[in-house]
Amino acid sequence: MPKATVERLPLYLQCLQAMGDVESTVSSEELANTAGVNSANVRKDLSYLGSHGVRGVGYNRLELCDQLRRALGLIEKWSVVIVGIGNLGSALANYRGFDASGFNVVGLYDADPAKRGHQVDGHYVKSMDDLKLDIKEHDVSMAILTTPAAAAQGVADLLIEAGIQSILNFAPSLLKVPNEINCRQVDLATELQILSYYQAAHQA
C-alpha cells in the first residue's frame, strides 16, 4: 500500500465517524469532499483495502469504517507508554481521545524523582528503572516521547532495547533508529515555520 494512501486512511476514518449515523452509505465523491481530496484518489485508496463499493450506490459506511480499522491494525487496542511527564507529557496523559482511536495508555515514566509522587489521570508516574520490565511484561509496543530534545535519543535507545517497536517523538530532535523501528516526528516549531513561509510569501 502506498505511503501516501496509508497517511490518508486515518483521515477517511475520522470523516466517516464524524458523519454520524444518519447515512448508511457514502459515495467516493461525498467522502472526497469532506476529506478535501480528489474522488478518484479516494476510490483508488479504498481499492487497496480490497473494499467493494457498490456501483451506482457507494460504500456501506459502517462496513467501510470496519475495513479501515482492520487495515490500520486498530482491531486490537495497542498499549502505549509515555516518557517525560512534563507540560506536554501530562497533557497527553490526560487526553481522553486515545481510547476512541484504539490506544491505551498503560504507563507514565519520568527521570525526575520529584515527579514521582504525582498521579496523572489515574496513573502514578514511575521511574525509568521500571520502564524496561513493564514494557516486556505488558507487551507494550508503542511509546510517546516527550522529554527534552537532549534526552530524546538516549530514551529512544532505552525504549528500543526494551522492545518498543514504534515511537511518536515530540522532541525537536531527529532520532536515529534501526530500520525495523517505526518512528514519527511531531514538531510544533516546524509546523509554525511552514505556516510562516506561506504567510510571508503571501504578503510579499
Ligand X SMILES: NC(=O)c1ccc[n+]([C@@H]2O[C@H](COP(=O)([O-])OP(=O)(O)OC[C@H]3O[C@@H](n4cnc5c(N)ncnc54)[C@H](O)[C@@H]3O)[C@@H](O)[C@H]2O)c1
Partner DNA sequence: ATTCGCTTGTGAAACGAATCACGATGCCCA
Partner DNA sequence: TGGGCATCGTGATTCGTTTCACAAGCGAAT
Q: Which residues bind a copy of itself (CB under 8 A)?
A: 6-7, 9-11, 13-15, 18, 34-36, 71-74, 78, 80, 87-88, 90-92, 94-95, 97-98, 100-103, 141-142, 165-166, 168, 172-174, 180, 182, 184, 186-202
Nearer to ligand X, 67 or 147 (CB): 147
Q: Could you tell me the three cell numbers for 55?
A: 456501483
Q: Could you tell me the three cell numbers for 17?
A: 465517524
Choose the binding region for ligand X from 56-64, 142-150, 159-167, 174-182 (rule: CB under 6 A). 142-150
With a CB cutoff of 8 Å and minimum separation 6, the contacts of 124 are 108, 116, 118
Nearer to a copy of itself, 103 or 111 (CB): 103
CA distance readout (Å), 118 to 84, 85, 143: 13, 10, 20
Does residue 86 bind ligand X (CB under 6 A)? yes
Choose the binding region for DNA from 47-55, 82-90, 114-122, 146-154 (rule: CB under 7 A). 47-55
Does residue 41 bind DNA (CB under 7 A)? yes
Residue with grid cell 515527579, as numbered in its chain: 115
Nearer to ligand X, 67 or 173 (CB): 173
Choose among 143, 167, 154: nearest CA to 85: 143
- Beta-carbon count within 10 A of 99 CB: 11
Can you tell me the distance from the alpha carbon of 133 to that of 156, in angstroms, rounded to the nearest whole number? 16
Does residue 22 bind DNA (CB under 7 A)? no
Choose the binding region for DNA from 25-33, 70-78, 83-91, 137-145 (rule: CB under 7 A). 25-33
